Amino acid sequence: MTALDIPHLRLRNQQLSSASFKKAGDLVTWFGAVQAQDYSGAKWALGQRMTNATDNTIEEAFTRGEILRTHIMRPTWHFVAPADIRWLLSLTASRIKAASSYQCRKLELDDAVFLRSNKALAKALRDGKHLTRDALRTVVERAGIVCDDLQRFNFILFRAEVAGLICSGPRNGKQFTYALLDERAPAGNTLTREEALAELTLRYFTSHGPATAADFAWWSGLAPTDVRKGLEMVTAHFAKEVIDGKTYWLPTSMPAVKRILRVAYLLPPFDEYLVAYKDRSAVTDPGVNQESISDNFLFQPTIVWDGRIVGTWMRKIEKAAVILTVHSLAPFNETEKKGVGKAVRRYGEFLKLPAMLQ
């Protein structure tokens, strides 16, 4: 393996160049978790890694609870599979709580407040109910907890998620709802901490490799000692390659390296292809400042060609079409233009709308 192979292997292992999953839940299980901060973008992140997926089919899977959305790592929103949510929470919750402890103290939120708010939330959501944020804010206020600060209420919901009490429910129109985790995912798996650590390590390097231990620590939010321990437990499943002084781990079960035909991908904000790695230099041209990647690319839709970032894109959904505007880092040649045009058409097919470049 060489540095030039890393993007192609990641495209394959992340299912971008080798989409084989038909169900959203199976794909999310493959990854372990998929960042879903930008909901519409996260649906597209799943859709272009599946066969024959549309925005509607992903939404239907979300409505049925085949994929759940909650705060699970780092911490930020992620899609997770119902069978995985409990063991993931058991592995990451303590780190998430520690990371939010300062803000909770600042907002005068302590265990006593969370006990009261969780009790009120559990009562309001039981028997299959799913309620919007506004409705739950009223519920918490009626329990005598001050929620005039929106950030304070956000942390109350956030900590209820981390406690394994609530998770996403089906959307009410365009509004998100919450439901009880025990009712939304009654058959979730439970693992010991060591089993959970080994499983998440296995999932990450299988679906995201080649990657480094530092990449996994960033993605999972786990302590470096846990990352080293996780790798020690599953090292038999992976090959180790040292390139430019960096140690990469990748699955041994995958076929030999094969360069992918040049294809363009329209990636959404926070796509796993970028957000899942601390070091993103493998997918940028040499000399690109790594800080600029986070500032300019991580939080907005990006265009990838031959595994590397070549530009950004924006969308505007109109009544009868979706209009896309692209900005290239360097002028596209004719082959690249055709590739981007094909990616635009694929995005339109996902939305079930004609897609046009502006």
Chunked in runs of 10, what are the mean pLDDT values of the chain (358 residues)? Answer: 90 93 97 97 98 97 98 94 97 93 94 97 97 97 93 96 97 97 91 97 97 98 97 96 95 67 91 95 72 64 94 93 94 95 97 94
Give residue 260's pLDDT: 59
Rg (CA), the chain: 21
Look at residue 290 in the predicted model and tell me its pLDDT.
Answer: 52
Q: Could you give the 3-state DSSP secondary structure of residue 209?
A: coil
Q: CA–CA separation, 64 vs 60, rounded Å?
A: 6
pTM of the prediction?
0.94
How far apart are the C-alpha atoms of 274 and 60, rounded to whole Å? 26
Output phi, psi for 14, to 5 deg.
Answer: -85, 5
Of the chain, the end-to-end C-alpha distance in Å amounts to 39
Q: Are 327 and 337 in contact (CB under 8 A)?
A: no
| Burial call 51-74: b when 16+ CB within 10 Å, e when fewer | eebebebbbebbeebbbbbbbbbb
- Report pLDDT for 159: 97
Q: What pLDDT does residue 291 have? A: 57
Sequence-distant (≥ 6) Cβ neighbours of residue 316 within 8 angstroms: 322, 323, 324, 325
Extract the runs of DSSP E, i.e. beta strands, from 238-283: 238-243, 246-251, 264-267
The per-residue pLDDT for 189 is 84
Least Cα distance to 92 among 179, 197, 206 occurs for 197
- Report the number of secondary-structure helices (H) and strands (E) in the chain: 15, 13
Nearest to 312 by CA among 267, 348, 272: 267
Torsion of CA 342, 7, 28, 170, to 10 degrees: -50
**pLDDT in the model for residue 351:** 97
Q: What confidence score (pLDDT) does residue 256 get?
A: 59
Amino acid in the structure at residue 132 = T
- The conformation of residue 21, written as its DSSP 8-state character, comes to B
- 243 HSE (CA, 13 A, CB side): 17
User: Do the bridges between strand 322-328 and strand 355-357 make them parallel or antiparallel, or are there none, so unpaired?
Assistant: parallel
Helix (H) or strand (E) holding 128: none
Q: Are 310 and 330 in contact, with CB atoms under 8 Å apart?
A: yes
